[in-house]
Amino acid sequence: MNFHYYLSIVTRQPFSVNREISNRTEEGLKAMRHLIDLNKFPIDQPGHIEYQSLVDRCRRDLDTLGNYSLDGFLKPSVCEAAVNEIAPVMARESFTHKRSHNIYFLDEVPGLDPDHPALKKVQTINHTLCADQIDGQIVMQVYEYEPLVRFIADTMNKNELFLMADPLARVNVLSYRSGEALNWHFDRSEFTVTLLLQSAEGGGAFEYRPNLRADDDPNYDGVARLLEGKDPGKRVLELKPGTLNVFRGKNTAHRLTCVEGSRDRIVAVLSYYEHAGKRFSKEELIGFFGRAE
């Protein structure tokens, strides 16, 4: 079965299904059942009561917690297989993303004094693979799985979501080794979808501070308090390998604490947008991946 060919056809037109593709869809569904726990999470059954109750639960979690998790979305053996596919590519050709940055990932913030403590510099380091380096792998199959895109759109109350057009940024796999971390930041996109594939032996906690700012209130003093370690509103999100998490990170500051031990923390970031054709700028590509092509 040429499964990847099937996916490439389906995802070019995310939600229009013709007869030819329907036949392929059956094959695709069977294949995905081996990867995703569709009994626990019937994301392939829109219109069914179990589907709707799952969507309702996710919407409630988004409203109250700012995120939702599907624990055990990927089966344990699939996580292991995904890591085995990724590991040699990660060792051979990942980009070491190492930078000193502020919480905004910006050189300057208009209207904010450069010495303001909200602009305190923090360090981030990880090892990054782009979608073009893991073509056809399990992670890419999950990313392009049409029912997943439909399901996430439903949980986010959106008519439609699209795969990102950027051949590098659409999916990234990030590996954190001992001593490495993703420091405090706000996301640029409204929400982020992650799939944890392997946890570290220690450290690597996902910390977040819900609604630290709003679209109409940058709350610079509150940001400064968080960076000084004086914000009691900080929380920790428990994530296990195989968990799919959808996180609203635009106004919720978050970070991954320093990883400890010999096992790397490996997470896939899946990017979907409300509009087709979304790409990173050349500057963003260079900053995050060290290359623009």
Cα dihedral 185, 255, 56, 196, rounded to 10, equals: 120
CA quadruple 220, 212, 235, 242: dihedral sign: negative
Q: Which of 32, 193, 249, 267 binds Fe ion (CB under 5 A)?
A: 249
Taking CB under 5 A as the rule, does residue 80 contact Fe ion?
A: no
Question: How many residues contact Fe ion, by CB under 5 A?
Answer: 2
- Residue 157 C-beta: closest distance to Fe ion, Å: 21
- Residue 238 C-beta: closest distance to Fe ion, Å: 17
Taking CB under 5 A as the rule, does residue 241 contact Fe ion?
A: no
Nearer CB in complex with Fe ion: 141/245: 245
182: left (phi over 0), alpha (psi -120 to 50) or beta: beta
Distance (Å, whole) CA 286 – CA 293 = 9
Distance (Å, whole) CA 200 – CA 63 = 29
Nearer CB in complex with Fe ion: 31/109: 109
Tell me which stretch binds Fe ion (CB under 5 A): 63-71, 86-94, 153-161, 248-256. Answer: 248-256
Distance (Å, whole) CA 237 – CA 254 = 10
Taking CB under 5 A as the rule, does residue 207 contact Fe ion?
A: no
Closest by CA position to 143, among listed 152, 21, 80: 152
Residue type, 27: E
- Residue 291 C-beta: closest distance to Fe ion, Å: 21
- Residue 269 C-beta: closest distance to Fe ion, Å: 8
Tell me which residue has its CB nearest to Fe ion.
187
Taking CB under 5 A as the rule, does residue 187 contact Fe ion?
A: yes
Taking CB under 5 A as the rule, does residue 147 contact Fe ion?
A: no
- Residue 195 C-beta: closest distance to Fe ion, Å: 14
Number of other CB atoms surrounding residue 40 within 10 Å:
14
Distance (Å, whole) CA 167 – CA 192 = 17
Binding stretches for Fe ion (CB under 5 A): 187, 249
